[in-house]
Amino acid sequence: MEAAVRALPPRKKKKWNKKTKDLVFVFLMLFLPTLQFALFWVVPNFNSLVLAFQLPSSASGQFSFVNFTRFWNELTEPNSSLFYSIIDTLVYFLITTLVNLPIVTFLSYVLFKKVPFAKAFRVIFYLPAILGGTVTAAMYRYMVGTGGPVEKLLTAMHIPFNAQLGLLGNPETSFTMVLIYCLWTGVGLNMIMINGAIKRIPEDIFDSAKIDGVGFFREFFQIVVPLIWPTLTTLLVLNMSGLFCTYMPIMLLTPNDNRSSLIGWYIVRYTLAAGDGSSNEVYNYPAAVGLIFTCIGLPLTLGVKALCERIFKDVEY
Amino acid sequence: MNKNRFVFLGVAGLTALLAACAPGYIEDNSSAGESAQSVSLDSVDSGASVIPDDGTSKTIKVKLYKAGWGEEWLKEMISAFEKTYAAEGYKVEIVESSATVLNTTEQELLLGPAKNDVDIYFSGQTSIPTVLSRTKKVLKSEATPLLYSFDNILDKPCIGSSKMPEKATLRSRMFGGYDAYSKYHGEMTQWDGQTFELSWANNAVGLFVNPRVLAKYSLEAPLTSDEFIADLKTISAKSASTGVYPYAWAGNNAPNYWQYLYLSWFGQSSGVDGFNKWVSLDNDNVTDGYKVYEDEGILSALNGMHDTLNLNYSENGASNMTHLEMQDRFLTDKAAFIVTGDWLYNEMSQDYSTEAKGVEMMKTPILSSIGTEIGVSDAELHTIVKAIDDGEDDATIKGKVSALTDAGLTRVRAARHVYASIGIDHQVLVPSYSDALTATSYFLRFMYSADGCRIFHANARGTLPFSYDQTSEESAADSVFEQSVRKVTENGKGIIVDENPSLSVIRSKAAMLSWNNPSWRSAQTWKTVMLNISDSAYSAQAMYEGEATYEKNQWSTYLAAAGL
């Protein structure tokens, strides 16, 4: 027996142990996303940073602050689209975050309580998120457009409006209509996240609350909101970080309205114009604007995150 | 389990349905359903010589930005060219024909000879100054510019299907002034004045009229701006009951189509040279180039625009209408006039094949202020313009209007030729590192020959910006729309081009547009004016003075941005 064992060829040592294999696996899984991140985020943003400090169309890449001078000139000019873009962005944030988010949270809680037709309401709220921006914008334009159902309703209710310009074509009302569109389409995605967070709350807590005689609203404010606060914080921070990047609603509904604009659209508009070789616009200016608002948005977002985390401590369950 | 299966199938079916409806699956409508149109061409003349083999490649690789003009024109062009140059063995291969060519051309040119083997780009939106400024980086030397200079062929004759040289050179047949807009002026001063791009479409823009609508009001196409405004008022007076409006405009995505009308009036008032002086900032006059904004032609044009722009002259909701909706209103007889471009027919004919027939491009009505300046009444100006359109000679015209001077008649004639074009956006670009330059040069000389122009017109239904005499067959085959565009463009006698980066280094580097005052900056100018037309801050005089003052105040900033 021993002789037979000695005659066997020596067992080859395994080249890779389990730990190595795990590392290789993780590396391979992360390689493509990291490469994509490097190529499509790091490189363009670094290039944008460099462009912001270059003289426009300079082959030698001459350093200059002229793009920032232009920004200041545009900002201090009365009635400039930059000025209105900033105002509209602040209003957009207030409405979509400080108004929409609480409403959606409450609606999610109502649907969670299995009110009649809850499933149907859920589909209705989710639909704009599923259909996509272009489709919902086309539907919305029809609904609020000249001679559309909304105008007919306003006429029937004797609510005055400028029929000649229409609700979307009138600078006095165009941005309000864009906000309503954003409220309508912003419900679905937020609701999915919040609904998921509410469902994670253990049933025992609700049962205990019921036994203790906790009412509908008290349960919402004193139990549900604190327990889903991390999710609400995440949504708030996401909204903050995307504040200066949002442009789709404006591009789809009011692309050429000075009084209805967002910072994101302001930057995109100049970027698109710069890409049009027949125009004299350049990439350097939108790069500078983007950098300015990054410097504003980054500390703001981090500050809001820190503040939110202090309000309610995270509870594990 | 069955329920889950149904849910899964339902979701999969909905996804497939939505995906099929997605815009990406919809082909370019303007060229869908078109078939190639061959043109009767001469065969190769027996006396034609064979191009000697110089060792360069005989295969030309081409990329085409497939836009509203489709691709059949290029295929037919290639077929005719290869037939003509069968003895030389020249071949043309379409490497790519898609909308994405527009976005990739500039990057591909910069790849250099090792990685890019495309010989001709029919594209657009490529910044010539940017490409040329990277010459040393790509070619490791500035001995040759990165782009092929078309000066190598512009002073040579075109060669059609007979393979015999035509009498005229490319440059002489190029629409008047086009080469001025193509000449390079930039940082690489050693190449100043050379031509690195040609155009492959004459996109005429301006005023279009629906004669069916005018006929209902017993009106004819107006010849002066006062007549034009009177027509707008006549139609508008009955709009509430008829539902027909003087014009349609697109406040949502094309409000600055109005710029085309403004440009035409500015060009009429100041003349082509005056207009070009404005675009070029007086040839980049560093000291006081901003003074071009004090040109009184701008004020005259603004007065015309301010009389034209009136919310009552368009349907409710026009301020948020898209350009397709605008063109729909025009073609379905709900508007008499529209300001757009000669793509109108191609873009809309598939869904509006009946309605599109009969609408016409019209020459921009002559500014009545010109009549005042030359000392004739508006009725007399009408007589003069009509006589010019009818081809009458100077003596006959002066006989009809006693107050008319020679200078006045010359001015009106020049104004009558003026039209605006954005065709410069459609660029023909050839990298200088192409290995098929000989074959490429002969292909382009063929393309811009009379035969090539006919092939383009037969298949794209547009025109190349090169003049040629139409055959009687071709004229007969032209639609009313196409005939009207030719009448307006007149082989490019009075062409003007707006905001072309080649014409002014300062404009290009300082991002200086036509309108820079933030109150009405370019892209939103005319919508802003339209919505504030009753506000004195947006009157013609206020705009004129406001813009001129702004340019003067910003001049040092522009110069700083331009590195001057």
Distance CA B256, CA B237 (A): 26
pLDDT at A11: 63
Are residues B397 and B254 part of one domain? yes
Q: Is B317's Cβ below 8 Å from some Cβ in A?
A: yes
pLDDT at B20: 60
pLDDT at B30: 43
Average pLDDT, chain B: 89
Average pLDDT, chain A: 87
Are residues B334 and B240 part of one domain? yes
pTM of the model: 0.85
Amino acid present at B57:
S
Nearest by CB to residue B124, choosing from A145, A174, A277, is A277
Residues of B with CB below 8 A from A265's CB?
none
Distance CA A89, CA A73 (A): 19
Q: Delineate the domains of chain A, giving CATH numbers in brackets.
A: 66-311 (1.10.3720.10)
Q: Give the least confident one: A55-59, B174-178, B326-330.
A: A55-59
* Structural domain harbouring B343: 204-265+316-417
**φ/ψ of residue B422, rounded to 5:** -115, 20
Higher pLDDT, B366 or B21: B366
* B523/A277 Cβ within 8 A: no
Burial B379-393 (b: 16+ CB within 10 A, else e): ebbbbbbebbeeeee
Are residues B463 and B390 part of one domain? no
Assigned domain for B103 exists: yes
pLDDT at B6: 67
Distance CA B28, CA B32 (A): 6
Are residues B251 and B122 part of one domain? no
Share of chain A above pLDDT 70, in %: 91
Residues 242-301 on B with a CB inside 8 Å of A are 251-253, 255-256
Amino acid present at B395:
A
pLDDT at A64: 85
DSSP state of A214: -
DSSP state of A8: S
Mean pLDDT confidence for B350-378: 93
Q: Are strands B198-199 and B426-429 parallel, antiparallel or unpaired?
A: antiparallel
Are residues B324 and B222 part of one domain? yes
Tell me the CA distances in angstroms from B187 to A56, A307, B77, B431, B504, one per residue in order: 12, 52, 36, 19, 11
Tell me the CA distances in angstroms from B362 to B227, B359, B421, B473, one per residue in order: 14, 9, 14, 23
Nearest by CB to residue B255, choosing from A164, A256, A269, is A256
Give the model confidence (pLDDT) of B399-445 as tens digits. Answer: 999 999 999 999 999 999 999 988 878 899 999 999 999 999 999 99
Distance CA B492, CA B174 (A): 8
Are residues B458 and B379 part of one domain? no
pLDDT at A281: 72
Are residues B350 and B245 part of one domain? yes
Distance CA B174, CA B440 (A): 18
Amino acid present at A269:
R
Are residues B364 and B216 part of one domain? yes
The answer to whether B504 touches B279, Cβ cutoff 8 Å, is yes
Assigned domain for B333 exists: yes
- Of the three residues B376, B401, B417, the one that is the final residue of a domain is B417
Give the model confidence (pLDDT) of B293-305 as tens digits. Answer: 999 999 999 999 9
Assigned domain for B291 exists: no
For the cut 60, the answer to whether the pLDDT of residue A230 exceeds it is yes
Give the model confidence (pLDDT) of A65-84 as tens digits. Answer: 888 988 998 888 877 889 99
pLDDT at B354: 84
Q: Give the least confident one: B12-16, B83-87, B549-553.
A: B12-16
- Of the three residues B401, B417, B433, the one that is the final residue of a domain is B417
Report the CATH number at residue B195: 3.40.190.10
Assigned domain for B270 exists: no
pLDDT at A316: 67
pLDDT at A174: 93
Assigned domain for B146 exists: yes
Assigned domain for B501 exists: no
Residues of B with CB below 8 A from A73's CB?
554, 557
pLDDT at A32: 94
pLDDT at B177: 65
Q: Give the least confident one: A50-54, A202-206, A254-258, B11-15.
A: B11-15
Are residues B197 and B208 part of one domain? no
pLDDT tier at B67, thresholds 50, 70, 90? confident
Tell whether the torsion through CA atoms of A211, A213, A219 and A222 is positive or negative.
Answer: negative
Are residues B185 and B245 part of one domain? no
Start-end of H helices in B61-100:
72-84
pLDDT at B27: 40
* B133/A59 Cβ within 8 A: yes
Are residues B359 and B460 part of one domain? no
Are residues B180 and B124 part of one domain? yes
pLDDT at B504: 80
pLDDT tier at A48, thresholds 50, 70, 90? very high
* B513/A165 Cβ within 8 A: no
| DSSP for A264-309, written as a single string | HHHHHHHHHHHHSTTS---SHHHHHHHHHHHHHHHHHHHHHHHHHH
Report the CATH number at residue B238: 3.40.190
For the cut 90, the answer to whether the pLDDT of residue A86 exceeds it is yes
Give the model confidence (pLDDT) of A113-172 as tens digits. Answer: 888 888 888 888 888 888 888 999 999 999 999 889 999 999 999 999 999 999 999 989
* B557/A276 Cβ within 8 A: no
Q: What is the largest CA-CA distance in chain A?
A: 106
Residues of B with CB below 8 A from A282's CB?
509, 511
Secondary element (H or E) of residue B426: strand B426-429
CA B155 to chain centre: 24
Give the model confidence (pLDDT) of B18-56 as tens digits. Answer: 666 554 443 444 444 456 777 888 888 888 888 989 999
The answer to whether A136 touches A185, Cβ cutoff 8 Å, is yes
Q: The complex's ipTM? A: 0.79
Domain count, chain B: 2
